[in-house]
Amino acid sequence: MWYKEIVFYEIYLPSFQDSSGNGIGDLKGIINKLDYLSDLGIGGIWITPFYKSPKVDGGYDVEDYYKIDEEYGCMDDFDKLINEAHKRGIKVIVDLVLNHTSDKHKWFVESRKSLANPYRDYYIWNKKIPNNWESFFTGTSWEYDNQTDEYYYHAFSKEQVCLNWSNPKVKKEMFKVISFWLNKKIDGIRFDVINFLKVNMGLFKYDNTQNENKEQEHIYDMNQDGILNTIKEIVSFTKKWDNIFLLGEIGSEDLSTLNKYIGDDLLDAVLNFNIGSINKIETYKLAEILKETNKAIDYPTLFFTSHDTSRYISRLCDNNHDLAKVLAGLMLFAKGIPFIYQGDEIGMTDYISKSLYDIKDIRALTKYDVLYKLNKNEELSLKLVNNTNRDKSRTPMQWDRDKKNYGFSVGTPWIGNEGNSIDVEHQISDKSSMFSFYKSLIKLRNSNLVMQYGDYVSIINHQDVITIIREHNGEQLLCIMNLGNTQNKSINKEGVLLFSSLKIGSNNVEPYEFSIYHLQ
Ligand code: TEU
């Protein structure tokens, strides 16, 4: 399958490239940068939602599934983007949010009008709060609506209203949406929080439990009985189109849960949060994670950063470029589908919000609100919120580091450029840069069947070094990666050197060495 042969790149649309000068990334901006992506060797892009939206949650709050948000462009721009991407051999996957709509969506505007409204059952309403379920953005998941004196359910912000997937009409509407976009010649879909679909109203009577830290365990509000059947129906519907790649965001780090959603009649791949969510590099554990993932999942996804996390260079590498290269190497060598997040390839680092007024992420804002009500301490609330603030990775790509650094809301600049003032031109031209490292390794992967299809022969860890051997059709590659800053003498390197991040003069493994050998 083609998706095993390429490297993907995630575009967080509002922060990628602004072609119109309003401070917000747009579709034309992506077209402008297709040559850049092609030069990097990218074979597929995942674009975060571009549908008409109030953008309370960066577009994950859709107001109209059939329209392009005006700030992002128009349908012509979208068609042109697909065309131009395909001309360069770049596949395009779009992000579909089937779990919830914006509260501005016409279905919800209708639904809240009266108990008898034909759209009432598109959403989940209750006379009284039926359970203790909490929103994934903190606080209650039930919002009171005085128009009908009832509560509606929202797993995320109160502006993102959960659809009632036990209602066949909702399913039908969504099949229409899916066919509309597949007819536009997209190559795949990333299904947002697809295991959250509320398919089973019978479960709403049960309370979720708490763990020992008194945090809610999301037992009944995700992975509901019946969800696999619903996903099978969606998948089977998409089979009318050829060669479509279906990627699911399954909100879980548990390998057996993730694996449940993959299969011939299910999704092709899921986002592997068991790898993507790690927050500390311990070489031994990392090697174990690779082994366990390989046991559970045939072809996983590989990423360390997304628009929902901090940047791996800050979180895992303390902004050390040498280590960041080794981890990028791991992501591009290990078995799976690599997803590079915009900006990681030029070494962008985390942005830290300076005050409440500097926060744009709705999840962080909601959390701040809840915390501040409890502790009445601005500094403490900000500190706690900044642990998981998604703004960290959402600052604009540094195409022009001298330009005022706007975020994705018009007129509200991010404060300062801290850690993000990067010279892209220099990254592109300097042979020892982060960009050049990514580029040469992607080039190797793009032409190497062992890196695309090979199975693991071994994954061995010794001190800070991991060695991996992969094999395909009798051909073997050995990858040596040193995640530490000390020399290691214990590994014998044999074979033809295919890739090296360092000038290797001896048989020792050098600090932060990343090299690949073709075994004879
Ligand atoms: O993310 C889902 C999300 O917020 C996860 O953090 C989830 O709560 C977790 O995996 C549960 O274990 C998606 C989008 O990527 C994100 O940007 C949106 O805010 C969210 O859905 C709502 O649409």
Instruction: State yes or no: pLDDT of 419 exceeds 90.
Output: no
Q: Is 58 exposed, middle or buried (0-12, 13-18, 19+ CB in 10 A)?
A: buried
Instruction: State yes or no: pLDDT of 417 exceeds 90.
Output: no
**Angle, vertex CA 337, rays to CA 335 and CA 338, nearest 5:** 100
Note the pLDDT of residue 402.
Answer: 63
**C-alpha dist (Å) from residue 74 to 25, 71, 482:** 13, 9, 47
249 is catalytic: yes
Rounded CA separation 500/512 (Å)? 11
List alpha helices for 92-165, DSSP H.
106-111
Rounded CA separation 153/162 (Å)? 6
Catalytic residue among 192, 221, 350, 358: 192
Instruction: State yes or no: pLDDT of 492 exceeds 90.
Output: no
| CATH code 2.60.120.620 for 454-519 | no
Mean pLDDT of the chain: 94
pLDDT band at 409 (very low <50, low <70, confident <90, very high): very low
Rounded CA separation 161/156 (Å)? 8
Note the pLDDT of residue 412.
Answer: 55
Note the pLDDT of residue 416.
Answer: 59
Please state the domain extents for the chain: 7-99+168-350+419-441, 106-160, 351-418, 454-519
Q: At what angle do helices 227-238 and 168-182 cross, to 10 degrees?
A: 30
Pairing of strands 91-96, 188-191: parallel
Q: Report, at the CATH architecture level, how domain 7-99+168-350+419-441 is classified.
A: Alpha-Beta Barrel (3.20)
Model confidence pLDDT, tens digit, residues 13-34: 999 998 988 878 999 999 999 9
Within 10 angstroms of residue 84's Cβ, the number of other Cβ atoms is 16
Mean pLDDT confidence for 322-333: 98
pLDDT band at 95 (very low <50, low <70, confident <90, very high): very high
Note the pLDDT of residue 337.
Answer: 98
Residue 183 alpha carbon to ligand 1 centre in Å: 27
Note the pLDDT of residue 507.
Answer: 83
Q: Which two tokens stand for residue 394?
A: 């959402």
pTM for the structure as a whole: 0.97
Note the pLDDT of residue 410.
Answer: 42
Residue 192 CB less than 6 A away from ligand 1: yes
Note the pLDDT of residue 453.
Answer: 98
Instruction: State yes or no: pLDDT of 405 exceeds 90.
Output: no
Mean pLDDT confidence for 473-502: 92
CATH of domain 106-160: 3.90.400.10
CA-closest residue to ligand 1 atom 1: 193
Rounded CA separation 354/272 (Å)? 31
Rounded CA separation 483/510 (Å)? 10
Which phi and psi angles does 478 have, rounded to 5°? Answer: -115, 130
Average the pLDDT over each of 102-106, 380-384, 450-454, 491-495 and give the range with the smallest value: 491-495
Q: Among the atoms of ligand 1, which is closest to the Cα of residue 60?
A: 23
Model confidence pLDDT, tens digit, residues 137-165: 999 999 999 999 999 999 999 999 999 99
Q: Among the atoms of ligand 1, which is closest to the Cα of residue 251?
A: 10
Residue 251 CB less than 6 A away from ligand 1: yes
